[in-house]
Structure 1
């Protein structure tokens, strides 16, 4: 019997374990609605998060598209500015070359004017010397005339005495029949 008692004891223990397990399962089953509510809330939060993230992703995608479009506009503006800069630089280069050519022309003109001015100054100096000589001559003639007038001498007679053949000197007569050799 002892083996039977042992078996009964084992079975009783097994029944007690099963009852404890059933009790535990029953308690767990009673917690299922709360867990179900918690899981439902978690699910709803997850769905809300996914929706929000989807919206944020959609907004992010929109912002990304807007930024991409802005980048393309900036690149186009940069290209336009580069073209304008290149055109301006080419125009400036043409203008600079034209100005260099004009400067060369002006320098040539200034050299010519400088040479002419130097020649004019030389002529002016020479004319000044001539004028000075004429003034000296005039003073001499005037003083001579004044002194002769005061002496009551006839100027015409005096001139004839100084130049017996007149102012042009003696006149040469041409010979007939004689030719100069060439």
Structure 2
């Protein structure tokens, strides 16, 4: 009978730790990959349908409410953001430049934020929004299918959701997706 070498005590202690570490790395990679926005993986059932009705407070005017009905008549871009959202800082300069073109009204949708934090964030980074609506407790977010920030919707003059983007809006997104869609919407309006 031959003796097979037995693992040393220190090897027996390191093996479970190595297995746990490898599982931890795999779990972290899976969580990171699942948190990355993928517009194609999250199609909105609202595209082509009326925007959800809402009546939300206006951030800068205590006691004032704005409804979805009040926004009809001209297209608008509804941008979901929060002071707690790192990607919102990334897209903010891009949205600011786009808002300055006055192509469409850019509506801020401040989500799950404290009033003072939202005000401080806008003071620090600038306010590109035509108006900022507030949804402190996610009452309207469920109807819109909002699961995170940033998310951006384009609603046409009739109140129909025409586009949704999950994640930071970049200049490429504006050039390749949003501007051509706005051109089509404007052409459709002229043809009628």
Instruction: Point out the structure with the larger helix share.
Output: 1
| TM surpasses 0.5 | no
Q: Which category describes the TM-score, using the shorter chain as reference length?
A: under 0.3
Instruction: Point out the structure with the larger strand share.
Output: 2
Structure number, greater radius of gyration:
1
> How high is the TM-score relative to the length of structure 1?
0.24
The structure, 1 or 2, with the larger RCO (C-alpha pairs under 8 Å, 6+ apart) is: 2
